[in-house]
Amino acid sequence: MTSTTTPTPPSASAAARRGRAGPPPGAARGPAVRVRGLTKRYGPKQAVDGLDLDLEAGEIVAVLGPNGAGKTTTVEILEGFRDRDGGDVRVLGEDPARAGRAWRARIGVVAQDSRDQAELTVAEAVRSTARYYPAPRDPDEVVDAVGLATKAGARVRSLSGGQRRRLDVALGVVGRPELLFLDEPTTGFDPQARRTFWDLVLGLRESGTTVLLTTHDLAEAAHLADRVAVVRDGRVVAEGTPDTLGGPDARTPLVTWTADGVARAERTDAPTALVAHLVATAAGPDGEVPDLCITRPSLEDVYLGLLTTEDDR
Amino acid sequence: MTATAPATATRPTTTGAAARLPGVARLALVRAGLELRQFWRERDAVIFVFAYPIIMLAIFSSVFGGENQGTEVAEIGYAQYFLPGMVATGIVLTSFQSLAVSIAVERDDGTLRRLRATPLPAAAYVGGKVLLTLATSVVQTVLLLAVAALAFDVPLPDDAGRWTTFAWVFVLGSATGTICGVGFSALPRSGRSASAVVTPVVLVLQFISGVFFAFFALPGWMQTVASVFPLKWIAQGMRSVFLPEDMAALETGGSWQHPATAAVLVAWLIVGLVVGVRTFRWRRRDDG
C-alpha cells in the first residue's frame, strides 16, 4: 500500500466527512446496529449477559474486552452465525437470525484465522467473491487498495500472514458492505503493516462504511474508533470516545513520589500545585523530590483500570 | 478504497439489492468453475481420482488373470467381470468420498464460514459441488472404459438399451453419492479426521458389494448387508451393462433387478437429502 493507493475522497464531501461536523455519511439510513439486553448461555456459562450496543451508520466502534468477555459471541450473533437466547438485535434494520441473502449482501465479515482458498490466486479469490454480490466494488481496484496488486497472480497459500489478512479485508469489502465486522484484524502485523491497515480502514469510513472492530490493541482502538465499548462478563461496562472513556476521574493525573522511604501516590487535577508543595516539603538536600513522576493515564491504563475496578467490587 | 467513492452515491437500496442478487443457477456455475480450478491444481488428488479405478482394475486383472469368472452358465475374463465394479467404485469415490471429505475440510478451514457471510445460497455451493462431481466422474469413467477396452480387450456394449441403462445408473448413482456425501460430511469432527472417517466406510462397502470379489461368491449374510447400501446396486446396475445377458443368472433372484436398483438409490437420495438439510453445518462442531 503505497501513497498512490491511499484513498483520496472527492474534496467536496471530504471536508464535511473529515470534520465530522454533520451527521456521518450514512446517518440517513438509521442506526446500523441496535442491541438491547442480549443474552447467550453455553451450558453453565453466561457468555453474554444483558448486553446493549449501538452503532450509528458511518462510525467506527471498537469493542474491547479480555478473552472470554463475550466479544466474539456477540459479534457472531450480529453476523447471523449464532443464535441468541434473548434480547433484541437489529443489524441494518433486520434480525440477523432471520435475515436472508439481501441482508448478507450488505454486511462484510473479516474473521480471524482463515486458511481457505489456498489453491486460488489473489485475483481469482476476490473476483469470484465479487460475483456473489449484486453491486460489488471493482475487484482489481480492491486488490490494489489493500496493497496486493503485485501479488494478484500469486497463490493464496504463498502469502505471508499480513498479506493474508489484507486479502481477508479485500474479500470482506469487495461486496461494498454498509457494515463491516473486523475481528482482531491486525494481530501479528508488524508496526508498518498495522499503520497501513489503519489507513485502509479510515478510508473505508470516508466512503461511508460502518465498522465494528474487536481488538486487544488499545492503540488501534484509540487511532481508529469514534467510540469504544468495553465488554466484561458479557456486558458493556463502559462506553465513550477514546478520549472520554471511563469518565473524567479515570483520567485524573497521578503523581507518585517517595517520602521517608515509602512510595506515595496521589490523584489530582492540579499536579503542578502538588509538585510545588512537594518541592517545599518533601525535597531532599539536593532540591529533588525522590522518584517524582506525573502520569496521565493512557487509554490502556483507563481500560485496565475499568477491568480491575470491577474485580475489586 | 475510496477510489470507488463515486459509486457510493448509487449505493443500492435494500430492495434494489434484492432485485439484483445473482441467480442460484449462475452462482452454481461460478462455484463449479472455482471448484474445477481448485481441484485441478491439487495434482495428487487429480491423479488419485482418475487413476485409482484403473490401477485397481489392472491389479485385479493381473493377479487373477489366469482364472475366469463365472460358472458353467457363462465364463468371461476377469477384467470384464470386474470392470462394472470399478465403474461403480469410481462413482462412489468421486461423489460420496471426495465430497464428504472436501466439505469436511472446507468446514474446518473456514471456507464455509466465509461463504456463509456472503449472499451465496447454500444451493449454489452444493450445485457447484454437484457439477464438479459430474465433470470428474465423466472423465474418470471415460478413461476407465477406454483403458479397459484398449488395454484389457474388454468388449463394450454396442446397443442403445445398455447405454441407456448405463446413463441412468450413472446419473442416479452419482446423484445419490453426492447427496449422501453432503450429509455424511457432518460426521467427521475435523478436516484432518475426515479421510479417516470416510475412507473405511467406502472400503468396507467395496469389499462386501461385489467390487473386489464376485458378489455371487460372497456369504449370504454379507450379500444381505450389502443390499442395504447403494454401492451394491450401482455395481449390479453396471454389471447389467457390461456383462453378457445370461450372467444375470448369477445375480440375487436370477435377474438384474433394475426396479429394485432404482428404488434403493432413490430411497438413499431422499434419506441423504433429509439428513443433509437437517445436519448441514457451516461451522465446525467445536465452534458452537
Does A159 share its domain with A280? Answer: no
The torsion angles phi and psi of B187, rounded to 5 degrees, stand at -75, -50
Same domain, A196 and A72: yes
A180 and A99, same structural domain? yes
Lowest-confidence range among A12-21, A99-108, B154-163? A12-21
Furthest-apart CA pair in chain A: how many Å?
77
pLDDT of residue A167: 92
Same domain? For A189 and A267 the reply is: no
Specify the pairing of strand A235-240 against strand A254-259. unpaired
pLDDT of residue B96: 93
Mutate to test the interface with A, among B4, B20, B118, B287 (most CBs of A within 10 A): B118
Question: Domain limits at A182?
Answer: 3-247
> Using a CB-CB distance cutoff of 8 angstroms, which residues of chain A are in contact with residue B37?
119-120, 124
Q: Is the pLDDT of residue A14 over 70?
A: no
Residue A78's pLDDT is: 95
pLDDT digits (tens, 9 = 90+) for B184-239: 988 888 888 888 888 899 999 998 988 888 888 889 899 999 999 999 999 999 99
pLDDT band at A313 (very low <50, low <70, confident <90, very high): very low
Question: pLDDT-derived band of residue B65, with 50, 70 and 90 as boundaries?
Answer: low
Question: What is the interface size between A and B, counted as CB pairs within 8 Å?
Answer: 137
Number of folded domains that form chain A: 2
Check CB contact under 8 Å for B27 and A104. Answer: no
Q: Which amino acid is at A161?
A: G
Same-domain check for residues A174 and A301: no
Partner-chain contact B116 A9, CB within 8 Å: no
Confidence (pLDDT) at A134: 94
* pLDDT score at A236: 93
CATH number of the domain encompassing residue A94? 3.40.50.300
Average pLDDT over every residue of B84-105: 92
pLDDT given at position A29: 57
DSSP code, position A113: S
Q: Quote the percentage of chain B above a pLDDT of 90.
A: 47
> Which residues in chain A have their CB less than 8 angstroms from residue B27's CB?
131-132
pLDDT digits (tens, 9 = 90+) for B8-31: 434 444 444 444 899 999 999 999
Of the ranges A15-19, A115-119, B240-244, the best mean pLDDT one = B240-244
Q: Which residues of A touch B109 (CB under 8 A)?
A: 114-116, 118
Say yes or no: A39 and A120 in one domain: yes
> CA angle A259-A262-A267, nearest 5°?
75
Domain boundaries, chain B: 19-287
Q: Output b/e per residue, B198-226; b: 16+ Cβ within 10 A.
A: beebbeebbebbbbbbbbeebeeebbebb
Non-local CB neighbours of B103 within 8 Å, separated by 6+ positions: B112, B129, B181, B182, B185
Confidence band for B66, pLDDT divided at 50, 70 and 90: low
- Coil, strand, or helix at residue A88? strand
Residues B21, A102: C-beta atoms closer than 8 Å: yes
Counted residue by residue, chain A has a size of 313
Band (B75; pLDDT cuts 50, 70, 90) = low
Q: What is the mean pLDDT of chain B?
A: 85
**Of A212, A247, A282, which residue constitutes the final position of a domain?**
A247
Q: pLDDT value at position A12?
A: 36
Residue A312 has pLDDT above 50, yes or no: no
Using 50, 70 and 90 to split pLDDT, how confident is the model at A309?
low
pLDDT at B146 over 90: yes
The pLDDT, as a whole number, for residue A111 is 79
Residues A118 and A172 in one domain: yes
* Confidence (pLDDT) at A250: 76
Residue A118 has pLDDT above 70, yes or no: yes
Residue A93 has pLDDT above 70, yes or no: yes
DSSP 8-state class, residue A74 = H
CB contact under 8 A, A101 and B119: yes
**Chain B partners of A133 at a C-beta cutoff of 8 Å?**
22, 118-119
Which of A207, A231, A247 corresponds to the end of one domain? Answer: A247
Give the percent of chain A with pLDDT over 90.
Answer: 41
- Average pLDDT for chain A: 84
Same domain, A207 and A306: no
Compute how many other C-beta atoms are within 10 angstroms of the C-beta atom of residue B278: 9
Q: Which of A115-129, A142-156, A258-272 has the weakest average pLDDT?
A: A258-272
Residues in chain B with CB shorter than 8 Å from the CB of A134 are 12, 16-22, 119
A56 by DSSP, 3-state: which?
strand
> What is the nearest CA distance from A96 to chain B, expressed in angstroms?
11
Q: What is the mean pLDDT of residues A120-124?
A: 95
Query: What Å distances lie between residue A126 and A117, A132, A171, CA to CA?
Result: 11, 10, 6
Within 13 Å and on the Cβ side, how many CA atoms surround B211? 26
Of A190, A219, A247, which one is at a domain's C-terminal end? A247
Beta bridge partners of B75: B70
Question: Which residue in A81, A104, A114 is closest to B119 by CB distance?
Answer: A104
Helix H or strand E encompassing A86: strand A86-91
Q: Cα–Cα distances in Å, from B275 out to A175, A273, A293, B183, B194?
A: 32, 75, 68, 6, 18
> Rounded to 5 degrees, what are φ and ψ at A34?
-140, 115
Record: contact A117-B38, CB cut-off 8 A: yes
- CB distance B109–A115 less than 8 Å? yes
- Determine whether the interchain pair A132/B118 forms a contact, defined as Cβ–Cβ distance below 8 Å: yes
Q: Which chain A residue's Cα is nearest to B125?
A: A132
What is the nearest CA distance from A108 to chain B, expressed in angstroms? 7
Q: CA-CA distance, B277 to B162, in Å (whole number)?
A: 34
A47 near A40, Cβ under 8 Å? yes
Determine the straight-line distance between the first and last CA of chain A, rounded to whole angstroms. 47
Contacts of B119 in chain A (CB under 8 A): 101-102, 104-105, 132-134, 175
Residue B5 has a pLDDT of 40
Q: What sections of B120-190 are H helices per DSSP?
A: 122-151, 160-184
The predicted model gives A74-82 an average pLDDT of 92
Residues of B in contact with A128 (CB under 8 A): 30, 33-34
Both A278 and A243 in one domain: the answer is no
Of A105 and B2, the one with more pLDDT: A105
> B1: distance to nearest CA of chain A, Å?
5
pTM of the model: 0.80
Q: Which of B20, B111, B116 sits opposite A117 (nearest CB)?
A: B111
Whether residue A214 has pLDDT greater than 50: yes
Tell me the one-letter amino acid at A113.
Answer: D
The reply to whether A240 and A259 lie within a common domain is: no
> Nearest-CA residue of chain B relative to A79?
B117
Closest CA to A197 of A47, A7, A36, A69: A7
Is the same domain home to A182 and A292?
no
Residue of A nearest to B103 (CA): A116
Residue B68: what pLDDT? 58
A132 contacts B27? CB cut-off 8 A: yes
Q: Do B11 and A208 touch (CB under 8 A)?
A: yes
Whether the pLDDT of residue B258 is over 60: the answer is yes
Assess whether A221 and A277 both reside in one domain.
Answer: no
Q: Is A9's CB within 8 Å of B114's CB?
A: no
